[in-house]
């Protein structure tokens, strides 16, 4: 399998972002978005998915964290899409449940070329610092659409907002890692009876 690594650069009047993702890394992360909680959760994402991830982002944080969070999700989704290429030889689907103290999250992923996001049950509380609960939802939704993956997220239960969000990021990382692993029995074939996956490449 070829090296699965992508660098995305995005510059707008609202944000400047450079992001590099290596799907076959070792969990190394260097994250600086200007949003402390987002840095923390993306570091967890890299470590638990065993991805190498670097992100440098500058945005209009004097307004709020919305544009930066959204655009980092957009860039990460685009990087996932690029690293997967035609998606030949991968397992394609996976689901993982991860606990974090009193919270439990379940995430299911299908890398089948269709961008769709579903979140069952809202995250309790207003958010983690400036990272509002609805921004977490929007981050994952934007990522799923750009990556062309089905992403279903369930916050099964939990009373602490930080724990719920941490469990979500860890579960997503582990599910994405499992879904994108090579399947030796498949060889170089597409994991689809259609023999075609929309990748937008």
- DSSP string for 3-69: --EEEEEEE-SSEEEEEEEETTS-S-EEEE-S-HHHHHHHHHHHHHHT-EEEEEEEE-TTT-SHHHH
Predicted pLDDT of residue 89: 78
Q: Residues 170-183, buried b or exposed e (16+ Cβ, 10 A)?
A: bbbbbbbbbbbbee
Q: Which helix (H) or strand (E) holds 100?
A: strand 93-100
Q: Is residue 170 part of a domain?
A: yes
Predicted pLDDT of residue 195: 61
Number of domains composing the chain: 1
Predicted pLDDT of residue 106: 98
Q: Tell me how far apart the alpha carbons of residues 164 and 122 are, in angstroms, rounded to a whole number.
A: 10
Predicted pLDDT of residue 189: 60
Q: Which residues of the chain have pLDDT under 70?
A: 1, 62-63, 189-193, 195-197, 201
Q: Is residue 150 part of a domain?
A: yes
Q: Is residue 194 part of a domain?
A: no
Q: Is residue 201 part of a domain?
A: no
Predicted pLDDT of residue 158: 94
Closest CA to 55 of 72, 37, 69, 78: 72
Specify the CATH number for the domain of residue 22: 3.30.230.40
Predicted pLDDT of residue 160: 95
Domain that holds residue 68: 5-179
Q: Is residue 30 part of a domain?
A: yes
Task: Report helix, strand or coil for 83.
Answer: helix
Q: Is residue 79 part of a domain?
A: yes
Q: Which helix (H) or strand (E) holds 131?
A: strand 131-132
Q: Is residue 111 part of a domain?
A: yes
Predicted pLDDT of residue 61: 73
- pTM comes to 0.94
Q: Is residue 199 part of a domain?
A: no
């Amino acid at each position: 399998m070829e090296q699965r690594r992508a660098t995305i650069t995005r510059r707008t009047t609202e944000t400047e972002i450079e992001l590099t993702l290596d799907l076959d890394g070792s969990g190394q992360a260097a994250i600086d978005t200007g949003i402390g909680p987002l840095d923390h959760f993306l570091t967890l994402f890299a470590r638990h998915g065993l991805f190498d991830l670097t992100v440098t982002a500058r945005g209009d944080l004097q307004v709020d964290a919305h544009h930066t969070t959204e655009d980092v999700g957009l860039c990460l989704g685009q990087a996932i899409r690029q690293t997967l290429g035609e998606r030949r030889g991968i397992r394609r689907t996976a689901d993982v449940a991860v606990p974090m103290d009193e919270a439990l999250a379940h995430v299911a992923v299908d890398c089948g070329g269709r961008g769709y996001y579903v979140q069952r049950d809202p995250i309790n509380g207003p958010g983690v610092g400036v990272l509002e609960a609805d921004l977490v939802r929007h981050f994952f939704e934007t990522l799923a659409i750009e990556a062309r993956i089905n992403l279903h997220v369930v916050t099964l239960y939990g009373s602490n907002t930080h724990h719920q969000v941490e469990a979500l990021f860890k579960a997503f990382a582990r599910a994405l890692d499992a879904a994108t692993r090579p399947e030796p029995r498949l060889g170089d074939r597409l994991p689809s009876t259609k023999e075609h996956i929309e990748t937008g490449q």
